[in-house]
Amino acid sequence: MRQQLVKIALGVLGSLASLSALCGPMGFKDSWMAMGDISPNWQEVFVNYAFTARDAAGATALAMRSYNGTKKRQVTEATYTRLARRWNMPEAQANIWFIGGIGNITGNDFSGSKTLASPGVQVDYETTRVYVSASARLYRAEGLNHDFASVRTGFSFYEVDYDQTQPWFILEVRRMRGLTDKTEVTPMLRLIHNRYFVELGLNNASQARMNFMYIFD
């Protein structure tokens, strides 16, 4: 009986760990999270530290360009992430996140650097088999508007135990204003474990893309 209870408890903890890693832009309290989104037109790396169960502070470095390569931007910013609301259901979880940053932006079509503000929100819902999210971020500086929006959905191929890697299919649609006014569609294979995931895909412009996340104690 005791072994059965332990197995059930581990299964519940595994599901919660997978859910937290899958949807959240921050880890658990006192953890560090590193994430990256790498493609020819978008290279972003950020790190944050969760100083409470709902708050994290960090930094982001982002380089982006238009599809034809004529416009380029580089962004560095300090970031703050807040879990604004969470709903825990018997076999699902839903969240509302605030993600914001302030820093500077440079580009190849203007001189010097400009102060950038980037408030945003992410809403997501998931089970161990289904995932849906939507996010919007305002990248604003004097004379610049690079507002960004994305929608993601996906499903896992099968259930796994706590210590196993789970494969997912993820489809993302995203668009940015004022830099590349094209809609990017990327199907990806995601491999997720307790503290990390890796995504590999090819977008509708035949460009390779890789995303990753890792949570450190």
Domain tally for the chain?
A: 1
pLDDT of 7 higher than 70:
no
Half-sphere exposure of 211 (CA within 13 A, CB side): 20
CA distance 176 to 153: 19
Q: What is the pLDDT of residues 68-98, one digit of tens each?
A: 888 999 999 999 999 999 999 988 999 999 9
| Domain span including residue 163 | 2-216
The pair of three-digit structure tokens given for residue 112, joined into one six-digit string: 């010097």
**For position 160, what pLDDT does the model report?**
85
Burial of 8 (0-12, 13-18, 19+ CB in 10 A): exposed
pLDDT score for 62 = 96
pTM of the predicted model as reported, rounded to 2 decimal places: 0.85
Distances (CA, A) of 71 to 68, 138, 170: 8, 18, 29
pLDDT tens digit sequence for 114-156: 999 999 999 999 998 999 999 999 999 999 999 999 999 999 9
Ramachandran class of 19: left when φ > 0, alpha when ψ lies in -120 to 50, beta otherwise = alpha
- 131, 154 contact by CB (below 8 A): yes
Domain holding 38: CATH number? 2.40.160.40
